């Protein structure tokens, strides 16, 4: 699917801040920021990525913070307070 078609299917811009333990120094945490179009509240794309992370990468996950925003929204309408005509 193209990104526009995904947005019409209620996919939203989703950002996840992933904290994980460094493989060589488990006492230290590092941040990874993941961003993609995903469908709230299930977030299947993020779940797929986190599943990949746990199966294939060495850094053990500590926590994940998720933020989501609709990109296509109803238009905002503002009425002009005055009208000016120029020749």
Give the containing element (helix H, strand E) for 71: none
The model's pTM is 0.76
Domain range for residue 7?
3-69
Give the pLDDT score at 75.
Answer: 63
Q: What is the mean pLDDT of residues 80-87?
A: 73
CA dist., res. 9 & res. 37, Å (int): 11
Query: Could you give the number of structural domains in the chain?
Result: 1
Residue 81 within any structural domain of the chain? no
Rounded to the nearest 5 degrees, what angle is found at the Cα of 3, between the Cα atoms of 31 and 64?
20
Residue 62 within any structural domain of the chain? yes
Residue 83 within any structural domain of the chain? no
| Residue-wise pLDDT tens digits, 33-79 | 999 999 988 999 999 999 999 999 999 999 999 999 877 666 665 66
Residue 39 within any structural domain of the chain? yes
Residue 74 within any structural domain of the chain? no
Residue 79 within any structural domain of the chain? no
Whole-angstrom Cα Rg for the chain: 20
Residue 43 within any structural domain of the chain? yes
């Amino acid at each position: 699917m193209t990104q526009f078609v995904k947005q019409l299917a209620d996919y939203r811009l989703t950002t996840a801040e992933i904290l994980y333990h460094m493989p060589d120094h488990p006492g230290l945490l590092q941040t990874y920021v993941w961003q993609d179009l995903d469908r709230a509240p299930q977030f299947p794309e993020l779940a797929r990525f986190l599943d990949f992370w746990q199966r294939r990468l060495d850094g053990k996950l500590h926590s994940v913070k998720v933020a989501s925003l609709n990109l296509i929204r109803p238009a905002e309408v503002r009425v002009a307070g005055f009208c000016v005509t120029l020749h």
